Amino acid sequence: MNPDMLVVARESRGLTQGQLAAASGVPQGTISKAENGLITMAEEKAQALADQLGYTRDVLDWDAQVYGFGSSSFYHRKQQALPQSRLKQIQATFNLARLRTNLLTKGLDIESSYSFEPFDPDDYESPEHIARLVRAMWHVPMGPIRDIARLIENAGGVVIRSDFDTHRISAISQWVPGERPIFVCNSAMSADRERFSLAHEAAHILMHDRPRETQEAEADAFAAEFLMPAAEIRPQLANGIDLGRAAQLKTYWRVSMSAIIHRARDLDCITASRAKSLYIQMSQHGWLKKEPVEIDRDQTRFLTGVVNAQLHQNGYTVQELSKLTGILPDEFTRLYLPEQQTRLSLVTKE
């Protein structure tokens, strides 16, 4: 057994050692010693733990490296304010999602049109400058980015949605050398917020190989310029804005009304007091929590494509793929074939 995998499997389900012990009947002391690599657990006990956690037995044996969050969350205040148990669960979920992505893509020849490359922020004029370079490097046409999830996946990244069970974290990203950059988004986020978070995380992947004190402001500056290039949006903001105009620009640029107001202020198209007054109006309408106009969600295609290739070209069954990725078929379908799940549940309802 790999002690790290036992920890990850347990934490991914949000269980303490005591809770897992109570639920599985395996003594807490045994779990604790196994997690510290002090004992080899009897096979039936290991099986009982795997069953309780809803993973296949061999997940606990995976010879895998478990990683921490790295620089993307080093200076993230809201994340630091979260309870340790929740952070551990999110970290464990992230690691498993990463490992399953590696297992699913192994042996597949997948070409990406573009790539992620490191940019040292000290070598460039500003994060905005890097945003413009990346737009050029990835051949992004002028105007709004129609689908940033797709753009990231075309550059070799993987975008995954997961329920973080908290609103404090929007997304987390990680780029383990030799692997694909992974972006996990909180599925509770609205589509506009998810897009900004993806741009913000892409900035961390591109610029923050090493944590920097200024990284959160830099990632926001990158995201704003990447999604709303100053040269293009400035003329639209030049005469000032009201909430109606912000809503209009939201559907065009596919970012939140708040982000539009923020951008107008940053580009000096409105005064600080005007921005404040707009935010107060937003708040009075309850729009800081839920905006009145919604945009449709970006499409995450990479993993669906991989799973479909394994099913339809390589002849795997859902059972085989769930076994390969260490989860039960129900969870596999929910995570990787959500459309099929909807179809199945529709059939059952008839």
> Site residues (CB under 5 A) for Zn ion?
216, 219
Q: Which is nearer to Zn ion, 140 or 219 (CB)?
A: 219
What is the SS3 assignment for 311?
helix
- 219: β partners: none
Amino acid 184 reads: V
Q: Minimum distance from CB of 215 to Zn ion (Å)?
A: 7
d(CA 76, CA 171): 11
Are β-strands 158-162 and 182-186 bridged in parallel, bridged antiparallel, or unpaired? parallel
Sign of CA dihedral 341, 99, 14, 163: negative
Among 262, 278, 135, 250, smallest CA distance to 202 is for 135
Q: Which is nearer to Zn ion, 211 or 292 (CB)?
A: 211
Here the tokens at position 342 are: 């909807």
What is the SS3 assignment for 86?
helix
Distance of CA 172 to the CA centre of its chain: 5
Q: Minimum distance from CB of 298 to Zn ion (Å)?
A: 19
Q: Minimum distance from CB of 168 to Zn ion (Å)?
A: 12
Q: Which is nearer to Zn ion, 173 or 322 (CB)?
A: 173
Q: Which is nearer to Zn ion, 147 or 216 (CB)?
A: 216
What is the SS3 assignment for 161?
strand
162: phi then psi, degrees, rounded to nearest 5? -145, 150
Q: Which is nearer to Zn ion, 100 or 195 (CB)?
A: 195
Sign of CA dihedral 256, 258, 262, 265: positive
Q: Which is nearer to Zn ion, 62 or 196 (CB)?
A: 196
Q: Minimum distance from CB of 46 to Zn ion (Å)?
A: 38
Q: Minimum distance from CB of 223 to Zn ion (Å)?
A: 9
Q: Minimum distance from CB of 128 to Zn ion (Å)?
A: 16
Q: Which is nearer to Zn ion, 81 or 136 (CB)?
A: 81
Contact 341, 67 (CB under 8 A): no
Contact 89, 14 (CB under 8 A): yes
d(CA 251, CA 192): 10
Q: Minimum distance from CB of 214 to Zn ion (Å)?
A: 11
